[in-house]
Chain A
Amino acid sequence: MLLSAVSLVLALSNSWFEEDQLNTREQAMWNRVEPSLVTLVTGNQARGVAACIDNTGLFIAHQASVTGRLMDGRTSKGKVLRFRLIAQDGPSHMMLLQASPWVEGEIKPIPEPTTEPAAGSALLAVLADGPIKAELVSSNRFGVVQPYRRALPLSEIRFERPLPLVGGALIFSENGQLVGALSATLNRANSNFDQNISTAFASMKPVIVYQKGGGAGAGGVGGGGFAPLAAGATRNNNLASGPGSLTTAYAPGTSVLKKVFEGFKSPSHQVYHASIGVFCQDALGGGSQVVTITKGSTADRAGIKEGDVIEHIGSTLIRTNLDFAKLIFDQKIGEKITVRVHRGTEILNIDVVVDRQIMQ
């Protein structure tokens, strides 16, 4: 009887204990990525983590971890580096930092994101104070990011319990690839659907920098600001985010990160997004109706007008504004696409060159 009771207590305590501990597999994941990371600090307070992406001292971090244009960072070996912000990408919330002094080979770069982890895969979310385990729920989510009004593929990530200050955590897959940075958490505090909608859209103000002709990046319009200090916030346990005892979070998908890596590692360090310079809304009965056109954009120059209903792009049927946004996201910059629009009683086929756009 005593033995049974002891066994019971041990089993339960072990079960609870396991939730806060990395198992062997997760520990191996952590050992794989830890040498590539630095902890960003402000004063003596850790703000987040940045990951080395190449051998020239470029690091990538989420904007929630970056509190200024100059920051200090500590490597896993305790060495202090100075970081300077040199580029940022608005929709993905990722920032590019340059470390100095930099000794090549001192920190191992993380591998570029190549493969999308399967749903249910174990992930490691690295916060300022260490790793926690997470799970990929789906990599097929799609979301609209404010204030850019950009539709991006998102990964839905779940944590086992409400977690404080997870914003900006870098997410790694089992093979050590960076698969996302935690940008948003599902808002559970306002459970009323309409309230969510109103809140979500109340501050939806576009910030767009459109670049004509593929020139170098222009300055941002109201963008480029830094997020409030995540680590300075206080936690109210009564208003945890995420459903139930879980935290549901979203990170830019692997396809977005690929673009970010490619842009940040390019000579200009800029991330270019495919664009033709239109903003659309669902059209009555289907299709994507052009609400407004950016002056000088390729769509403007090609003759697309406000009120036009985009029905096809190439051979792809456009049913909704998100169909349109998804398709544009996947386009290659510089390619010519044929947009079939309905204007009044006319049906027009208009060739438009996919331009590039910087959003900061």
Chain B
Amino acid sequence: MNRKFEDKLVQLAFGDMSAEEAARVEAEAKTDPIAAQTLASYRDMRSGFSLMSDVPEDQLSKERLRDAILAQGLKPKPVPRFALWSYAWMPVAACAFTFGILMVRQHGKTSEPMVVMGPSATAKAFGNTDVTKLPNLVAMNPPTAKSVDEKLRSTGEDLVDDWGINDSAAQPAVDRSYHGRGGSGTGRSGGRHKRHEPEPQLMANIVLAGGVTVPLAVSDSAPPASAQNSMNNSQAALKKATAKPSGDGPIILIDQQQDAETGAQRATEVGSASNVIVGG
């Protein structure tokens, strides 16, 4: 089967031939098994093209088939220009993801640390609940006692003195700052006007170096005589107007105890140091 006869077979299969010539070629093809097989193939191909909706019927011609088979096949349908960018989302998504990760990590670096809250913050966290009635929120006890250093006393060294608070005399206490801030969160002066319940007492005895015990009270309702005398009404009114929490920020209490995790001493942030005895 030569090239020319194969062209005839193509024309026959795609109907580009007169009926007379078609009959002649078909008869000739039947005598040659290869030609018959080739003709059957072209006819199958034509029927296949017919099923393709995007190939118009009028293009199912010999020329088109020639293009398809003999001259590099069917020409590709023009691809829309935007399709070239259809894969661009991948690098864009990768960049966006990377940016997002970095931003999240950066945000983590600059965020403010969450600190142990002071009394006012604790009170706010509990809303209107009276925090003094909650377990484990009763404020600190007075500082523990320090016995007189007998060794120093025995030396008669009058340049060295000692002091301490007798914790055996100390009563369970409630931090005044809870009262002052539990309701309004406005500090000591603001909270003091809101008190309607009996005031708990913070009482401790001061043991002086000479062994003299002096009661100390910082409760509003039951101050000791010395404290009672020290405050008259006008002074209290003046100080209520000017009192504010200690310090501009949280007070850091640095414990003597070392933190085995960090090798440093333990620090605790508190909102008020009103019960802390400070030297100066």
Binds B, one of A99-107, A260-268, A286-294: A286-294
For chain A residues 174-227, which have a beta carbon within 8 Å of chain B? 182-189, 191-206, 208-212, 215, 218-219, 221-222, 227
Shortest Cβ distance from residue A192 to the other chain B in the assembled complex, whole angstroms: 6
Is A289 touching B227 in the complex (CB atoms < 8 A)? yes
Query: Do the beta carbons of A4 and B141 come within 8 Å of each other?
Result: no
Q: Does chain B have a CB within 8 A of A351?
A: no
Is B51 in the interface zone, CB < 8 Å from A? no
Q: How far does the alpha carbon of A198 sit from the alpha carbon of B141 in the complex, in Å?
A: 7
Q: Any chain A CB within 8 A of the CB of B160?
A: yes
Binds A, one of B5-13, B33-41, B78-86, B231-239: B231-239
Contact between chains at B242 and A281 (CB < 8 Å):
no
B206 pairs with A292, CB closer than 8 A:
yes
Find out whether the CB atom of A320 lies under 8 angstroms from the CB atom of B273: yes
Q: At the interface with chain A, which of B24-32, B59-67, B69-77, B109-117?
A: B109-117
Verify if A154 is at the interface (C-beta below 8 Å from B). Answer: yes
Contact at B139–A197, with CB atoms within 8 Å? Answer: yes
Interface membership of chain A positions 108-150, coded 1 if the CB is closer than 8 angstroms to chain B and 0 otherwise: 0000000000000000000000000000011011111111111
Q: A306-B226, A321-B274 are in contact. Are A295 and B251 (CB under 8 A)?
A: no
List B residues 230-280 near A (Cβ within 8 Å).
230-232, 235-236, 238-240, 242-270, 273-280
In the complex, what residues of B have CB within 8 A of residue A328's CB? 280
Complex CA–CA separation, A12 to B102 (angstroms): 8
A196-B158 in contact given A241-B262, A320-B246, A320-B273 (Cβ < 8 Å): no
Cβ–Cβ contact B263 & A64, under 8 A: yes
A321:B208 contact, CB within 8 angstroms: no
Verify if B15 is at the interface (C-beta below 8 Å from A): no
Q: A196 — which chain B residues lie within 8 A by C-beta? A: 116, 268, 270
Interface centre among A8, A212, A240 (most CB of B within 10 A): A8
Given A308-B230, A309-B231, check contact A324 B91 (CB 8 Å).
Answer: no
Q: How far is the CA of A196 from the CA of B137 in the complex (A)?
A: 10
A307 interface residue per 8 A CB criterion: yes
Contact of A222 among B149, B231, B249, B254 (CB under 8 A): B149
Given the complex of chains A and B, what is the CA–CA distance between A197 and B141 in angstroms? 9
Distance, CA A175 to CA B122, complexed state (A): 40
Q: Which of A21-29, A33-41, A77-85, A230-238 contacts B (4 or more CB under 8 A)?
A: A230-238
Give the nearest-CB partner of B240 in chain A: A285
Q: CA–CA, A233 to B261, complex, Å?
A: 7
Min CB–CB distance B268 → chain A (angstroms): 4
Once the chains bind, are A149 and B279 in contact (CB under 8 Å)? yes
A228-B258, A233-B261, A322-B278 known; A343 and B267 CB under 8 Å?
no
B231 with A285: CB separation less than 8 A = yes
Q: Which chain A residues (1-56) contact chain B, with CB distance < 8 Å?
A: 1, 3-5, 7-8, 11-12, 15
| Candidate in B210, B243, B280 with the most chain A CB atoms within 10 angstroms | B280
> What B residues does A278 contact at CB under 8 A?
279-280
CA distance A146 to B144 in the complex (A): 12
Knowing A210-B161, A280-B280, A319-B243 are in contact, say whether A8-B94 is a contact too (CB < 8 A).
Answer: yes
Q: How far is the CB of A153 from chain B (nearest CB, A)?
A: 10
List B residues at the A interface (Cβ < 8 Å). 87, 90-91, 93-95, 97-98, 101-102, 105, 108-109, 113-119, 122, 136-141, 143-144, 146, 149, 152, 157-165, 175, 206, 208-210, 214, 216, 218, 220, 223, 226-227, 229-232, 235-236, 238-240, 242-270, 273-280
Task: Please name 19 further chain A to chain B contacts, defined as beta carbons within 8 Å, in addition to the given A142-B248, A291-B165, sorted by A numbering.
Answer: A138-B249, A144-B273, A148-B279, A164-B263, A186-B267, A187-B255, A187-B267, A193-B270, A194-B138, A196-B116, A208-B163, A218-B159, A249-B262, A249-B264, A282-B218, A285-B240, A307-B227, A322-B246, A328-B280
Give 20 CB contacts A-B under 8 Å.
Answer: A1-B87, A145-B254, A149-B279, A160-B109, A167-B262, A186-B269, A204-B143, A205-B146, A243-B115, A245-B108, A250-B252, A275-B280, A280-B277, A282-B218, A285-B235, A292-B208, A306-B226, A317-B242, A321-B278, A325-B278
Interface residues of A (CB under 8 A from B): 1, 3-5, 7-8, 11-12, 15, 64, 93, 137-138, 140-151, 154, 156, 158, 160, 162-168, 182-189, 191-206, 208-212, 215, 218-219, 221-222, 227-228, 230-231, 233-236, 239-250, 274-287, 289, 291-292, 294-297, 306-309, 317, 319-325, 327-329, 342-345
